[in-house]
Amino acid sequence: MPTTIQSLRACKEAGEKFTCLTGYDSTFSHLIGSAGVEVILVGDSLGMVLQGHDSTLPVTMEQMIYHTEAVKRGNQGALIMADMPFMSYATPEQALENAALLMQAGAHLVKIEGGDWLCDTISMLSERGIPVCAHLGLTPQSVNKLGGYKVQGREAAQAEEMIAHAVAQERAGADLILLECVPSELANKLTKSISAPVIGIGAGAGTDGQVLVMHDLLGITPGRRPKFVKDFMAESNSIEGAIKAYVEAVKTGQFPGSEHSFS
């Protein structure tokens, strides 16, 4: 059975974990879905892992459409989530136009980064049949404003504000929330504060689902490895085996461990 937003909600209600992994082409899309991953994220992370940029900012709509189309062709029943790139959703009207292009390319929902200022945009998209995932915490498109890739929400006021943003976004129509690089305690509290499924990366084990960048999971990303990453290829003899090990580790609660989380 294909994964849907409703089946992810059912996972949350049943207390069952689900997995998400980035994918950028047809071949890996086929592998990822066949290995049991529920959600494929066509991430603007491709700007870094495929194109060699030092951020996601140079990624264009045309590139996101191209990769979404490729992932769609190889998909084996996973839910396809596509990132809307930097400055492609600065206004609700611009967001609607660009989100429609990603949906036509094969996405099942789109992901946008930011707080409650996005609520009008989320409402407009949701009312017109475009599901939305809102991305909170470390938002890579705002890296210059944040002053680097840093853990977000450690201060009490900032933590409460993040929860308020998530509640407002769900009320506006957000179907999923993605939390990146936030303390585990905050992620746990936020996950329990809303009925929408929450996907975490560097957010501890208390979220409903987990996401990793495929290149990180396979241990082939050059440079310093982020704390929240685990190389599943190190103990596997195939790419498919590494992806299946990731799925199993998430569903059994073995990943992420405390060593992959922030306090």
User: Using one digit for the tens of pLDDT, what is the confidence trace for 153-203?
Assistant: 999 999 999 999 999 999 999 999 999 999 999 999 999 999 999 999 999
Q: Mean pLDDT throughout 31-36?
A: 97
pLDDT band at 240 (very low <50, low <70, confident <90, very high): very high
Q: Is 116 annotated as a binding residue?
A: no
Q: Mean pLDDT throughout 30-43?
A: 98
- pLDDT of residue 259 exceeding 80, the answer is yes
Provide the pLDDT for residue 146. Answer: 78
Q: Is 12 annotated as a binding residue?
A: no
pLDDT band at 116 (very low <50, low <70, confident <90, very high): very high
Percent of the chain residues past pLDDT 90, beyond the cut: 94
Distance CA 212, CA 18 (A): 12
Q: Mean pLDDT throughout 234-250?
A: 97
Provide the pLDDT for residue 41. Answer: 98
Provide the pLDDT for residue 11. Answer: 98
pLDDT band at 225 (very low <50, low <70, confident <90, very high): confident
Q: Is 113 annotated as a binding residue?
A: yes
Q: What is the pLDDT of residues 20-33, one digit of tens each?
A: 999 999 999 999 99
Q: Is 29 annotated as a binding residue?
A: no
Q: Point out the residues that are catalytic.
A: 180
pLDDT band at 213 (very low <50, low <70, confident <90, very high): very high
Provide the pLDDT for residue 148. Answer: 76
Provide the pLDDT for residue 145. Answer: 81
Q: Is 44 annotated as a binding residue?
A: yes
